[in-house]
Chain A
Amino acid sequence: MSEKLVGQPLVRKEDPRLLRGDGRYVDDLGRGALAAAFVRSPNAHARIADIDVTDALDVEGLVAVYTYEDLPGRVAEPLPLLIPHPDLTHPRTPYCLAKDEVNHVGEAVVMVVATDRYVAEDAAERIVVTYEDLPPVVGIDQARAAQRLVHDEVPGNIAARSVQTNGKGDAQEAIAAAPHRLSLDLQIERSASMPMEGKGVLAHWDADDRTLRVHTSTQTSTSVRLAVAAKLELPPDRVEVITPDVGGGFGVKIMHPWPEEILVPWAAMKLGQDVKWVEDRREHFISSAHERGQQQHVEVGFDSDGRLCGLSVEIWHDNGAYVPYGIIVPIVTSTQLLGPYKVGAYRVEFTSLYTNTVIVTPYRGAGRPQGVFAMERTMDAIAEYLGLDRLAVREANLIQPEEMPYDQGLVFQDGRPLIYDSGDYPTMLRMIRELVGWDGFEAERAAAAAEGRRIGIGIGAYVEGTGMGPYEGAHVKVETTGEIVVSTGLTTQGQGHYTSLAQIAADVLGVGVADVTVITGDTRRFKYAVGTFASRAIVTSGNAVAVAAGKVAEKAKRIAAAALGGGADPADLELVDGTVRRRDDPTASIDLRTVAVLSNPLRYAFDEAAKAATQFAAAVGTGDEPGLEATGYYMPERSTFAAGAHGVVVETDPETADIRILRYCVVHDCGVVVNPRIVEGQVHGGVAQGVGGALYERIVYDDAGQLVNASYMDFLIPFATEVPHIQTAHMVTASGVNPLGLKGAGEAGVIPTSAAVASAIEDAEGLSVRRMPISPSELYELRKTRTTRETRKEQVSA
């Protein structure tokens, strides 16, 4: 048997195409299609008094102008609430085009269709919308104060309020009874996914066939298909949604349907011509989702070893103007905040608040970076209070491997119990201690101080629920050419599924990855899927591919046993090197491609494979199905929990307060690894986004609700010069939930970065960091308010 492909760092099958410039992203398709552009609200909160399109009508090449009044039937209804929740008592979702009122800068008001994008923008520019300004609600403070309302009929701007406890006693009582108590007020600012490719939609209506084909840059083509069918009142079987190459997602493209995903297909049907819309960068800033913005109040009680007795957390979450994606982000923060720790009695309450800003839906990490920030700041505060080592305090609170599976006593984002399936957190902390050089750091600090340099070390640990259900599926087919075609419904946006899923299928079928072609996100090929988000793709689709490929292998053995004769039992056969053969007599063998021919009872000798098969009389038995193919699904009972710890060393400039990362280390456990090269890349990318979130990236709104840094000039995504070299170490605790033992890896890198960097800055500066991101000027200001740890800081700078 050849060596297993799962676990090997293979180079990616998809790369040559992308490297030659032969990728096909949505804007590379549909040459000659009409182009759509949108008139978007320049106001954060206003009533629409009038829309005057007269001037636009003179523009040569204009095809159509649509406002809310033009929208028919279900297109005119508010967009759906994707994930309702009993605590989401006041859900509000937007219309495809604003009806009477706008609630954030960037909300679409008028759609223009023209012969090309230049002309469409010419026309859009000439449309005059008259607004009556309403007072905007900007930021969590204003939302909480509720002096002004985003939606008149939503009291207190409160979309949802939710409380969870872990069933381990009353948290307030436990805190009150604890030997020591602390409270912290924390804040994380807004950021955004910012994929390099924005959103885009291309629609083609075949009036003769009554079929609608939509290409969209999404993280879920199957679900967009159902949304489009419902909105346009078409039978789902008349709608095909295809996700072409996608230039990054990071969460923003799991939100769906976006208004444009309904309007563009609707316009294509109405006009009987192909219509395309491609988002420009400014549009992306002001109309695609943001995330992260939260305030938190933490109260904790603990003993003299730093062991937690009780933890109570209040969270105020800014959900923007609407909540079409529900309250997943604050639910994730509330539950994943616990990390690898036992916290005693736990109570968490979140309030999800409307503001007159862009909607908030999951961005890589999806609420976890905020939760980990709260927990890890708390650990550091306890260590500081007790004068203990920060790692020692963490170690005192860890869930032990022998306590797995460990029930945290909460309900997770998937509605299932928050039960950690496996993990070895003490080993994880031991590894990060070594990797980052924790024990030798005081000598390093002293040496730096001797040169007048100020350095600090920090740490952040997390547990991440991955691979949630409800399911994914796959179809695996062996062609008579020997090619294996694997189709899965979920999409891909850079995670290397064309390679990693091929590795899984190839192992089961005894072929090489070169023989396997993977198709993703095309509803013509596979109709049932959830989507690629929440670090779930390899876990769910990976196991589904194994199930489907396993069925194909069984069928191949059945057919081959009959073909080989000699009393061969299917159980005596194995699939090796593209053949099916007897274990006890490898010369009794038949090519897998020949088995594929035999699997079809009707076989004309169209090709060499069919001719070669004529020597075998056998085919599929009566009662079996033609074709060497099968469909398989994987439905996890619940999520599987990955984990990791980051260690970071920073240097802060004593004069300018510039912050530089000197060393960045990651210990990462995502269970059994399918392709280490790909996992490593995912971790690197996550850390880079984490560094952005810690030091550079923030979405800034002014008091009027204008997004003042809506460009790459002003919203500072790190370049290569800002991202440190990342040292990684991997550990494997196989998942106890799924057959392949996999855990997700997509979001890992970003989760504890802000927490770890804040910890390191605190350590360097001897002051408390309670808010991220932090810029040099903010650190400079923070130094002026220094109240704690004066003494050691003086020693360091001396």
Chain B
Amino acid sequence: MTEQLHQITVTVNGVTRRGETPARRLLADFLRMDLGLTGTHLGCEHGVCGACTVLLDDVPVRSCLIFAVSVDGHAITTVEGCCDPGGELGPVQQAFQECHGLQCGFCTPGFITTITAYLEENPKPTEEEAREAIGGNLCRCTGYQNIVAAVLRAAEILNETQIKSEREAPHE
């Protein structure tokens, strides 16, 4: 028996991508195997570790628990899409490097996407809130302390960037 393929259209990191996929193909596998976006990693394939977290219409979801066909017509952001438009490290990525928030780097993409969405919601978290915000992602290397610091630092960078762009914006 040949598996039936379904046409889907997804906006991934701002680019419209079309693909043919079997109904059972996971979103994570579609991103990795069909689109070659291997920054999204699979750590447990049962929705606990969070390494595969991507943003579905700006909301963090586990791409190991979603079928690719079910995101037809939606927008996905992966870790590759968390860079600055110029390709430089984005604010959260920059903060991770500054704070040594990663070691092996395998869980990191899931943290980057999760934190990117979180700071939209809460741009000035306390340390306690920062810890809570990453409480759904597993990391086996860092002990989380430097990731908590990276959340706070990313908030600072975002804040600085915002102030700068407001200053540079022409006054009415």
Interface string of A717-735 (1 = CB under 8 A from B): 1011101011000000000
CB of A78 within 8 Å of the partner chain: no
CB distance from B91 to the nearest CB of A (A): 11
CB of A100 within 8 Å of the partner chain: no
Once bound together, how far apart are the Cα atoms of A118 and B79, in whole Å?
A: 25
Known interface pairs A16-B89, A250-B140; A23-B105 also in contact (CB < 8 Å): yes
CB of B152 within 8 Å of the partner chain: no
Once bound together, how far apart are the Cα atoms of A496 and B102, in whole Å?
A: 10
Once bound together, how far apart are the Cα atoms of A23 and B137, in whole Å?
A: 19
CB distance from A131 to the nearest CB of B (A): 27
Contact between B143 and A197, CB atoms less than 8 A apart? no
Contact between B96 and A19, CB atoms less than 8 A apart? yes
Chain A residues, CB < 8 A from B143: 681, 684-688, 723, 726, 749
Contact between B138 and A196, CB atoms less than 8 A apart? yes
Chain B residues, CB < 8 A from A392: none
Chain B residues, CB < 8 A from A245: 104-106
Contact between A118 and B22, CB atoms less than 8 A apart? yes
Q: Which of A25-33, A161-169, A565-573, A590-598 contacts B (4 or more CB under 8 A)?
A: A25-33
Once bound together, how far apart are the Cα atoms of A22 and B109, in whole Å?
A: 10
Once bound together, how far apart are the Cα atoms of A633 and B82, in whole Å?
A: 42
Q: Which of B34-42, B67-75, B117-125, B163-171 contacts A (4 or more CB under 8 A)?
A: B34-42
Contact between B135 and A719, CB atoms less than 8 A apart? yes
Contact between B100 and A12, CB atoms less than 8 A apart? yes
CB of B103 within 8 Å of the partner chain: yes
CB of B44 within 8 Å of the partner chain: yes
Known interface pairs A19-B102, A20-B83, A196-B107; A721-B135 also in contact (CB < 8 Å): yes
Contact between B140 and A248, CB atoms less than 8 A apart? yes
CB within 8 A of A21: which of B107, B109, B131, B141?
B109
CB of B12 within 8 Å of the partner chain: no
Once bound together, how far apart are the Cα atoms of A576 and B129, in whole Å?
A: 47
- The DSSP consensus for interface residues of chain A is loop
CB distance from A501 to the nearest CB of B (A): 16
CB of A194 within 8 Å of the partner chain: yes
**Closest B-chain residue to A493, C-beta based?**
B104
Contact between B136 and A60, CB atoms less than 8 A apart? no
CB distance from B24 to the nearest CB of A (A): 7
Interface string of B20-63 (1 = CB under 8 A from A): 00101100000011001111111111101101000000000000
Chain B residues, CB < 8 A from A116: 33
A residues 392-413 touching B (CB-CB < 8 Å) = none
Contact between A248 and B2, CB atoms less than 8 A apart? no
Contact between B140 and A15, CB atoms less than 8 A apart? no
CB of A798 within 8 Å of the partner chain: no
Known interface pairs A28-B38, A711-B46, A720-B148; A19-B93 also in contact (CB < 8 Å): yes
CB within 8 A of B51: which of A196, A684, A723?
A196
CB distance from B99 to the nearest CB of A (A): 9
CB of B155 within 8 Å of the partner chain: no
B residues 137-161 touching A (CB-CB < 8 Å) = 137-148
CB of A83 within 8 Å of the partner chain: no
CB within 8 A of B46: which of A195, A197, A250, A713?
A713
Once bound together, how far apart are the Cα atoms of A717 and B24, in whole Å?
A: 29
Known interface pairs A21-B38, A712-B49; A717-B109 also in contact (CB < 8 Å): no
**Closest A-chain residue to B142, C-beta based?**
A685
CB within 8 A of A685: which of B25, B89, B140?
B140
Interface string of A629-646 (1 = CB under 8 A from B): 000000000000000000
Once bound together, how far apart are the Cα atoms of A64 and B147, in whole Å?
A: 45
Contact between B104 and A195, CB atoms less than 8 A apart? yes
**Closest B-chain residue to A692, C-beta based?**
B140
CB of A24 within 8 Å of the partner chain: yes
Chain A residues, CB < 8 A from B108: 18-19
Once bound together, how far apart are the Cα atoms of A250 and B167, in whole Å?
A: 48
CB of B76 within 8 Å of the partner chain: no
Once bound together, how far apart are the Cα atoms of A21 and B111, in whole Å?
A: 12
Known interface pairs A687-B143, A689-B140; A21-B37 also in contact (CB < 8 Å): yes
**Closest B-chain residue to A678, C-beta based?**
B100
CB of A649 within 8 Å of the partner chain: no
**Closest B-chain residue to A197, C-beta based?**
B106
**Closest B-chain residue to A119, C-beta based?**
B3
Q: In the complex, how many residues of chain B place their beta carbon closer than 8 angstroms to a beta carbon of chain A?
A: 57
- The DSSP consensus for interface residues of chain B is loop
CB distance from B142 to the nearest CB of A (A): 5
CB of B97 within 8 Å of the partner chain: yes
CB within 8 A of A22: which of B2, B39, B112, B146?
B39
Chain B residues, CB < 8 A from A94: none
CB distance from A310 to the nearest CB of B (A): 38
Contact between A681 and B100, CB atoms less than 8 A apart? yes
Once bound together, how far apart are the Cα atoms of A723 and B106, in whole Å?
A: 19
Chain B residues, CB < 8 A from A687: 143
A residues 716-764 touching B (CB-CB < 8 Å) = 717, 719-721, 723, 725-726, 749
Once bound together, how far apart are the Cα atoms of A688 and B139, in whole Å?
A: 10
Once bound together, how far apart are the Cα atoms of A19 and B24, in whole Å?
A: 29
Contact between B43 and A196, CB atoms less than 8 A apart? yes
Contact between A118 and B39, CB atoms less than 8 A apart? no
Once bound together, how far apart are the Cα atoms of A456 and B38, in whole Å?
A: 47
Contact between B39 and A23, CB atoms less than 8 A apart? yes
Chain A residues, CB < 8 A from B78: 21
Chain A residues, CB < 8 A from B132: 720-721
Contact between A25 and B106, CB atoms less than 8 A apart? yes
CB distance from B60 to the nearest CB of A (A): 15
Contact between B145 and A723, CB atoms less than 8 A apart? yes
CB within 8 A of B144: which of A680, A720, A749?
A720
Once bound together, how far apart are the Cα atoms of A245 and B39, in whole Å?
A: 12
**Closest B-chain residue to A198, C-beta based?**
B43
Contact between A684 and B146, CB atoms less than 8 A apart? yes
Contact between A713 and B51, CB atoms less than 8 A apart? no
Chain B residues, CB < 8 A from A12: 97, 100
**Closest A-chain residue to B96, C-beta based?**
A19
Once bound together, how far apart are the Cα atoms of A69 and B38, in whole Å?
A: 37
CB distance from B147 to the nearest CB of A (A): 7
Contact between A24 and B38, CB atoms less than 8 A apart? yes
Once bound together, how far apart are the Cα atoms of A195 and B142, in whole Å?
A: 12
CB within 8 A of A248: which of B32, B46, B109, B141?
B141
Contact between A19 and B141, CB atoms less than 8 A apart? no
Contact between A681 and B142, CB atoms less than 8 A apart? yes
**Closest A-chain residue to B146, C-beta based?**
A681
Chain B residues, CB < 8 A from A281: 43-46
Once bound together, how far apart are the Cα atoms of A750 and B43, in whole Å?
A: 22
Contact between B144 and A712, CB atoms less than 8 A apart? no
CB of A340 within 8 Å of the partner chain: no
CB distance from B155 to the nearest CB of A (A): 16
CB of A336 within 8 Å of the partner chain: no
Once bound together, how far apart are the Cα atoms of A711 and B36, in whole Å?
A: 28
Contact between A717 and B140, CB atoms less than 8 A apart? yes
Known interface pairs A245-B105, A496-B103; A712-B98 also in contact (CB < 8 Å): no
Once bound together, how far apart are the Cα atoms of A250 and B139, in whole Å?
A: 13
CB within 8 A of A247: which of B97, B105, B144?
B105
Chain A residues, CB < 8 A from B112: 19
Contact between A719 and B138, CB atoms less than 8 A apart? yes
Once bound together, how far apart are the Cα atoms of A725 and B8, in whole Å?
A: 45
Chain A residues, CB < 8 A from B37: 21
Once bound together, how far apart are the Cα atoms of A688 and B51, in whole Å?
A: 18
CB distance from B170 to the nearest CB of A (A): 33
CB of A11 within 8 Å of the partner chain: yes
- What 4 A-B pairs have minimum CB-CB distances, sorted nearest first? A21-B39, A247-B106, A494-B104, A18-B105
Known A196-B41, A494-B102; further 7 A-B contacts with Cβ < 8 A: A28-B38, A118-B24, A196-B139, A246-B104, A684-B143, A684-B144, A712-B44
Chain A residues within 8 Å of B, Cβ to Cβ? 11-12, 14-16, 18-25, 27-28, 31, 60, 116, 118, 194-197, 245-248, 250, 280-281, 493-496, 677-678, 680-682, 684-689, 711-713, 717, 719-721, 723, 725-726, 749
7 A-B pairs whose Cβ atoms sit less than 8 Å apart in the complex: A19-B102, A247-B41, A248-B103, A248-B106, A681-B146, A712-B48, A721-B135
